Amino acid sequence: MPEVAIAGFAQAPNVRETQGTTNGVEMLVPIFADVFARTGLSKRDIGFWCSGSSDYLAGRAFSFVSAVDAIGAFPPIHESHVEMDAAWALYEAWLKIRMGEVETALVYGFGKSSAGQLRRILALQLDPYVVTPLWPDSISIAGIQARLGLEAGLWSEKDLAEIAARSRADAAANPAAQVSGAVDVAELLDTPYVADPLRAHDIAPVTDGAAVIILSNVERARDIVEHPAVLTGIEHRVDSPVLGARDLTRSPSTEAAAAALDLDGVELAELHAPFTHQELILRSALGLGENVRINPSGGALTANPMFSAGLARIGEAASRIHSGEARKAVAHATSGPALQQNLVAVLEAR
């Protein structure tokens, strides 16, 4: 089986609201141009295209169809789409290269969270018969999860504020970040609750954004970048949707994905944690020690473009391997309420 590597990454500016249409495909044209410029490739070089997005975010059926226009898909292309974060589209593209069907794939995710009221839309991911009618929104569910950890002594509100402060400080070096800058932990703890025990800094911002990654077999990737980020492992699992049947302070699906991977010697991690306490759950599930650098990009707490934030974690981790800053990294993507579904990818310099 050929090894697969990440050869290029680009992302749109992460912003509170773009001026485009509700499906947000306008964000794609500039980032396709960007990633082609970085890699020296053109659309004719791409053997397979795969994307992730959501009709509910756009508020209309078949919203992803317009993205084909952003590609300029003629002559016709070999293409597919997942109604998931594009990290899972990357998984599909990885399969296609591994089985030798194509040499190069382009993966993209996009979403315009500002098109609706995000926390309320995400309530539609719950059981439509017995849970959604109560309209528990995504932030309230995360609040329950955070409360359970607090009561179990797994974290304190100060621990959470420190994660927020570190993330924002790191995001200062990330021009694509939506939220950044130096903040004082004590001042953060003085702010009011949004959904007790969560404060504004514990919650990812509402973000419009998009990201794109080019994958290829390793031989091809070496022609494109000096240090390709080789995908030495990628695993994903899903947990039960029944919130009351899960120990919400753990992430069994992340643990199971990690157990199938070799995380020894990981130097940095890009974790898709839209809430501060979820970073701690993920660090524990992945068994990451104190010496592992967490979210040098600032992470999802500083920019959370729905349906591309997970892909962007993989891209951010790959960028640090491309630059020589790290030799082994782990990237993570999540989907669903309270970390229900998780994907873990290991990237290595070779």
Partner 1 sequence: MKQLAAVLGTGQTHHRARRTDVSMPGLLREAIDRAMADAQVEWADIDAVVLGKAPDLFEGVMMPELFLADAIGATGKPLLRVHTAGSVGGSTALIATALVQSGVHRRVLTVAFEKQSESNAMWGLSIMPPFHMPVGAGAGGYFAPHVRSYIRRSGAPEHVGAMVAAKDRRNGALNPYAHLQQPDITVESVQASQMLWDPIRYDETCPSSDGACAMVLGDEAAGDAVPGGAAWIHATAMRTEPTTFAGRDQVNPQAGREAAAALWAEAGITDPLSEVDVAEIYVPFSWFEPMWLENLGFVPEGEGWKVTEAGDTALGGRLPVNPSGGVLSSNPIGASGMLRFSEAAKQVMGRAGDYQVDGARTALGHAYGGGSQYFSMWLVGSEKPA
Which residues form the interface with partner 1 (CB under 8 A)?
A: 1-2, 21-23, 49, 54-56, 60-62, 64-66, 68-69, 72-84, 88, 91-92, 95-96, 98-101, 121-122, 124-129, 131-132, 235-242, 252-253, 256, 335-337, 340-341
Report the residue number, 26 or 267, with the smaller CB distance to partner 1. 26
Smallest gap, in angstroms, from Cβ of residue 54 to partner 1? Answer: 7
Altogether, the residues listed in the chain come to a count of 350
Angle at 327 between CA 226 and CA 297, to 5 degrees: 95
Smallest gap, in angstroms, from Cβ of residue 50 to partner 1? Answer: 10
Smallest gap, in angstroms, from Cβ of residue 190 to partner 1? Answer: 36
Report the residue number, 50 or 203, with the smaller CB distance to partner 1. 50
Residue 244 backbone phi and psi in degrees, to 5: -75, -15
Smallest gap, in angstroms, from Cβ of residue 239 to partner 1? Answer: 6
Contact between 329 and 268 (Cβ < 8 Å): yes
Report the residue number, 2 or 183, with the smaller CB distance to partner 1. 2
CA-to-CA distance for 248 and 270, rounded, in angstroms?
21
Report the residue number, 80 or 117, with the smaller CB distance to partner 1. 80
Q: Which residue has the tokens 């609040």?
A: 143
Report the residue number, 186 or 242, with the smaller CB distance to partner 1. 242
Contact between 241 and 336 (Cβ < 8 Å): yes
Report the residue number, 124 or 200, with the smaller CB distance to partner 1. 124
Report the residue number, 129 or 153, with the smaller CB distance to partner 1. 129
241 exposure class (CB count in 10 Å sphere: 0-12, 13-18, 19+): middle
Q: Which residues pair with 216 in a beta bridge?
A: 5, 104
Enter the DSSP assignment of 202: G
Smallest gap, in angstroms, from Cβ of residue 96 to partner 1? Answer: 6
Q: Whose CA is closest to 232, among 4, 1, 2?
A: 4
Smallest gap, in angstroms, from Cβ of residue 272 to partner 1? Answer: 16
CA-to-CA distance for 13 and 15, rounded, in angstroms?
6
Report the residue number, 104 or 180, with the smaller CB distance to partner 1. 104
Smallest gap, in angstroms, from Cβ of residue 287 to partner 1? Answer: 19
Angle at 254 between CA 134 and CA 98, to 5 degrees: 120
Q: Which residues pair with 332 in a beta bridge?
A: 344
Residue 190 backbone phi and psi in degrees, to 5: -85, -10
Q: Which residue has the tokens 């998984």?
A: 91
Smallest gap, in angstroms, from Cβ of residue 283 to partner 1? Answer: 21
Q: Which residue has the tokens 């500039």?
A: 30
